[in-house]
Amino acid sequence: MAAERKEVWNCFFPEFALGMKDAGSIGRILKLNPRFLDFLFEIDAEAEELKDHTRIYYPGEFAADPLGPQKKLPEEIGEILREGEKKKLLYLWGREGCGRKTQIRAFCRSAGMPLLAVRMNKAENQEEDLKRFLQALYTEMILRRSAVVFLDIDKCLEQNDVLKKMLPAIRRKLWKITDFIFMTGEKAWEWQEEWQEEEQFIQIPIQEFTPRQQKELWERELKGWELQKANLPELLSSKFSMTPGEIKKSAETAKQEARRKKYAVLAENELHNACYQQFHHHLGDSAVRINASFSWEDLILPETQKIQLRQACNQILCRGKLYEEWGFGDKLSYGRGISMLFYGAPGTGKTMAAQVMAAELNMEIYRVDLSAVSSKYIGETEKNLKKIFDEVQRSRSILFFDEADALFGKRSEVKEAQDKYANAETAFLLQKMEEYDGIVILATNFLQNFDHAYRRRIKYVIYFPMPPEEERIRLWKNVFPQKAPVGKLDYAYLARQFELSGSDIKNAAVTAAFLAASDHTEIDMEKILLAIRQELQKYGRVIGQEEFGAYAYLMR
């Protein structure tokens, strides 16, 4: 008790805290800490030294009750603190917005004590300045008889070497005025320290919310609003892996946008956009986002292939029901994502199909640049792939690997060390695909380059054939915008005479449009045929005038 009384005395008369000699000798004038007087006359006034670094939460202040897998954690914290005689440091860690501070606030509310939340990464990083800040913090804790939580302490220790050096001394100081300390972080504790005999260090991981628990949170946050689709909470919880904080922010953002636009109904795309604002992907040159601007009507494919694509979309939309309500989640610990292999000749619609799925599901899609991912250095390719999957794990964005046979080529016989590592890269990518909860699409022009063992582990293998004549007619008719000045075109002749892919037809149409624009004419058969000849020359095919049949006279 003597140590505690001394700390109180030092806080009221700072000369002791600053280490002045003979501060308490007879005849010496002691100066009262001005903060003590401020607190007496205005209890809600903030300490000047702590402004922008701390926030006080009072027991009577409204705070949401913890939900999800650890809603009884505040009671468990109370039991932990009552056990034994040792001082206790409780470190709660998990993703930002997972409810770490909510759990601590709920405990303090039940215990009837204020909570002082401190962000040390905003405090000074010079030793003397940090000491003054901490002294003000100790004073505030004594005045308010509050608990303390150091927020995001893992980031602070990474960024502030002075704080890391002073941490043991800070704990020793705090033990003189409190029996327990709270800290929060995003990852498990990594800083090796020797804990003193009188203190106990306890790590408490905050568990992820299941899709069902996320659905309940969405329903609570969207209560009172009319939704464009009644099952939006279920859809959102199936597509995204979000924390309570992220769900709350997303819902509030969507509601604010609806109020601004004076909408009476919350639109599906507004909620999806609000969700994606919570994710900040740092993919660099490894992957680029594709604008998903195509619909099912734009995709010219046989019905069998379209059915397979829709089935894959439905697996994402019905994931919550399957894994939660029907209990398949207990049977499948991994492999819940969708892996797909698109194969076929260039220009047959593989990339478009990926964009159609993204548009259907209101999901982001990223094209992975294999040249930026692959590395000649051992282990670097796996490292780059891991970073991509880790970045999009929470948003569950669609990952599109074009020309994927560069990574999924047939396994080679191990004759050299490099062969072994090349096979390991492919095995690693398959492992990450099985762990990923979103959609991974591999595209290749040559299925024969894929190893059979790899194909067996992919859920959907979809063939993209060259379009037959009747579908080529549709492609020619749909390729031109309504505003384009299109003359009289013989679509049946173009489809019958030239076996082109959808991409070839699009390229030829754009080239013909530029020719017409430069000549200030309509897009007519002459411009189309000139464009087709240029397109075929890319493949090394030179066609003579006679191959244009009835329209050969235009090519003289």
* Residue-wise pLDDT tens digits, 522-547: 999 999 999 999 988 888 887 777 77
* CA 504/CA 519 separation, integer angstroms: 23
Question: What contacts 524, CB < 8 A, 6 or more positions away?
Answer: 487, 488, 489, 516
Tens of pLDDT, residue by residue over 19-55, are 444 444 555 556 666 666 566 656 666 777 777 788 8
CB atoms inside a 10 Å sphere around CB 462? 20
Tens of pLDDT, residue by residue over 340-393, are 999 998 889 999 999 999 999 989 999 988 878 877 777 788 888 888 888 888
**436 vs 67, more confident:** 436
Closest CA to 277 of 139, 163, 395: 395
Tens of pLDDT, residue by residue over 126-141, are 788 888 888 888 888 8
Q: Could you give all domains of the chain from N- to C-terminal order, each with its CATH number?
A: 37-189 (3.40.50.300), 211-276 (1.10.8.60), 287-464 (3.40.50.300), 469-555 (1.10.8.60)
* DSSP track, 201-245: EEEEEPPPPPHHHHHHHHHHHTTTSEESSTTHHHHHHHH----HH
Per DSSP, 523 falls in state: B
| Half-sphere exposure of residue 92: CA atoms within 13 angstroms, side-chain side | 24
* CA 257/CA 104 separation, integer angstroms: 32
* CA 379/CA 424 separation, integer angstroms: 9
User: For position 421, what pLDDT does the model report?
Assistant: 55
Tens of pLDDT, residue by residue over 208-248, are 888 888 998 999 999 989 999 888 998 898 888 899 889 99
Contact 218, 236 (CB under 8 A): yes
Question: What contacts 60, CB < 8 A, 6 or more positions away?
Answer: none
Contact 156, 150 (CB under 8 A): yes
pLDDT surpassing 70 at residue 159: yes
CB atoms inside a 10 Å sphere around CB 28? 10
Tens of pLDDT, residue by residue over 246-267, are 999 999 999 999 999 888 889 8
Q: What share of the chain is helix, strand, coil (3-state, %, to 5)?
A: 50, 15, 35
Degrees to nearest 5, angle at CA 360 with 356 and 363: 95
Q: Which amino acid is at 437?
A: D
Contact 238, 211 (CB under 8 A): yes
SS3 of residue 267 by DSSP: coil
Q: What is the reported pTM? A: 0.75
